[in-house]
Amino acid sequence: MEKDSKLESFSYYQSLERKGDEFIYKTFNPDKRILTHYKTYSDAKMKNLNGRYQEWYDNGHLWEEGKYKNNEKEGKWSTYGYDSGKVKEYGHFKNGKEEGTWFSLDDQGRITSEYNYLSGELEGDYLRYDSLGNVVQKIIYQAGDEIENEIFDSTYTNSELKDVEVLPFLKTCADLAGDERKQCSDNKYLHFEINTSPKKSLAGKIPKPASLFLPLLPVPALQKSLSIPAANGSGKSSLNGRN
């Protein structure tokens, strides 16, 4: 029960408490014995939602939370991921309609989308980001209708971003996009400087070591091309090109 509240009614999977002028209605999962709904009403007949509202998944993680005012969503509302339990989307309501800037996030807390509402309809820029925070798509809405759609990264697909990028890339190639970024990474992925017993030239200077750029190869083929002995005779190498 809530602190300083009075139990009005109770059954196997629901309860109604009174706290001052508020009536708090709770429902439970009878099998798992966990809270599934928390609703606040201004009347005992539970016809006018007014105040705190929460819902939970069947695994116990919070699904949605916010507040009602006279049966309409008002103020900040957030939804959460089923598995992670972390914020998945949040924004504000005004008079029961989405209003202002909203955000979608991945399980790492990174913003994947940013969009604007005006009286419950998408309005203005709808931006999608990659995991580095770069804009990969921009959609412009007017009164809920899409009027322009521009994709900045050719590798981007209109889906939820995953924790791992589709294309591997090195930090030195991060400013590039799409195929250019991949090509840059492939070229630098295995960059070896081979030093061969440097000898002084006639000018008395030691020449710089040669640089060799190699394409991505299976480890055995790479070992053979560079004459690198396998570790412990296992045929496997500990080479790791990731940055």
Q: Which pair of tokens denotes residue 115?
A: 């969009």
Residue 193 or 208, more confident: 208
Q: Give residue 241's pLDDT.
A: 41
Spell out the domain ranges in the chain. 6-154
pLDDT, tens digit (0-9, with 9 covering 90-100), for 62-121? 999 999 999 999 999 999 999 999 999 999 999 999 999 999 999 999 999 999 999 999
CATH of domain 6-154: 3.90.930.1
Q: Is the pLDDT of residue 208 over 90?
A: no
> What is the mean predicted confidence (pLDDT) over 6-26?
92
Structural contact between residues 123 and 115, judged by C-beta atoms closer than 8 angstroms: no
Q: Which pair of tokens denotes residue 104?
A: 């979608």
Q: How confident is the model at residue 184 (pLDDT cuts 50, 70, 90)?
A: low
Phi and psi angles of residue 149, each rounded to the nearest 5 degrees, phi first:
-145, 120
> What is the mean predicted confidence (pLDDT) over 162-185?
49
Q: Which pair of tokens denotes residue 200?
A: 């002084």
Residue 63 or 10, more confident: 63
Sorted by sequence, the CB contacts under 8 Å of residue 42 that are 6+ apart come out as: 21, 22, 23, 48, 50, 51
pLDDT, tens digit (0-9, with 9 covering 90-100), for 211-241? 333 343 343 443 444 444 444 444 443 334 4
> What is the mean predicted confidence (pLDDT) over 130-146?
96
Whole-number average pLDDT of the chain: 76
Structural contact between residues 130 and 165, judged by C-beta atoms closer than 8 angstroms: yes
Any idea how long the chain is?
243
Residue 140 or 200, more confident: 140
> What is the mean predicted confidence (pLDDT) over 31-38?
92
Q: How confident is the model at residue 182 (pLDDT cuts 50, 70, 90)?
A: low
Structural contact between residues 37 and 25, judged by C-beta atoms closer than 8 angstroms: yes
Q: Give residue 187's pLDDT.
A: 55
DSSP labels, 6-71: EEEEE-SSEEEEEETTEEEEEEEETTTTEEEEEEEESSTT--SEEEEEEEE-TTS-EEEEEEEETT
> What is the mean predicted confidence (pLDDT) over 195-223?
38
